[in-house]
């Protein structure tokens, strides 16, 4: 899928501005006049969706890595909205090492199984059977992972790589079942 990012970004900005009290009638007239094509509008929604997935992915993977390096924990914890990713348990900063370790265990909230399920389910529910949305969501997860690595300051722990691969595998299976093809299966 090739997206005209310049015009789609303009539309994305306009869509965001609409919710900030820009005249909806003028925007509707631009669509009707052909100044903004349906294709460009669709592309802007794909970009918006991809950005949401990227942010969601980065926050989940950042939270997953927090228990590993106590020097980075405080900074990372301050950037994460735990409620937004569904974690409502004991504040991580208040946990002892054993409690924190249980969060990343096989059955833990930030373990591979639950985190990869949250990531892939987010994309699958948002993408439905729309191949472009599924691929945009997949790309968003990879960008979120890369963003989490930048924040981490290097290679993320193995648990994060395992989580990424498991999430992508589930999304790739859906894309393949719809007749799609994934060219790059690595992050």
Q: Write the pLDDT tens digit of every residue in 160-187.
A: 999 999 999 999 999 999 998 876 544 4
Query: What is the number of other CB atoms lying within 10 angstroms of the CB of residue 172?
Result: 18
CB 73 within 8 A of CB 93: yes
Q: Write the pLDDT tens digit of every residue in 31-62.
A: 677 776 666 666 666 666 667 777 777 777 66
CB 161 within 8 A of CB 66: no
Residue linked to tokens 């991809």: 50
Exposure of 103 in the CB half-sphere (CA atoms within 13 A): 21
The rounded percent of the chain whose pLDDT value lies above 70 is 66
Q: Write the pLDDT tens digit of every residue in 63-91.
A: 665 555 556 666 777 778 888 888 899 88
Look over the chain and give the mean of its residue pLDDT values, rounded to a whole number: 76
């Amino acid at each position: 899928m090739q997206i005209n990012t310049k015009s789609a970004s303009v539309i994305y900005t306009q869509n965001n501005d609409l919710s900030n009290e820009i005249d909806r009638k003028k925007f509707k007239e631009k669509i009707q006049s052909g100044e903004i094509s349906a294709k460009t509008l669709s592309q802007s929604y794909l970009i918006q969706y991809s950005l949401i997935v990227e942010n969601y992915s980065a926050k989940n993977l950042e939270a997953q890595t927090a228990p590993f390096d106590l020097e980075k924990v405080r900074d990372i914890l301050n950037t994460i909205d735990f409620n937004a990713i569904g974690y409502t348990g004991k504040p991580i900063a208040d946990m002892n090492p054993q409690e924190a370790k249980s969060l990343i265990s096989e059955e833990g909230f930030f373990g591979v199984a639950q985190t990869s399920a949250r990531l892939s389910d987010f994309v699958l529910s948002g993408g439905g059977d729309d191949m472009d949305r599924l691929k945009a969501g997949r790309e968003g997860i990879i960008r979120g992972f890369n963003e989490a690595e930048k924040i981490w300051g290097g290679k993320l722990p193995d648990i994060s790589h395992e989580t990424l691969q498991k999430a992508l595998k589930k999304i790739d299976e859906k894309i393949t079942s719809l007749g799609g093809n994934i060219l790059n299966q690595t992050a």
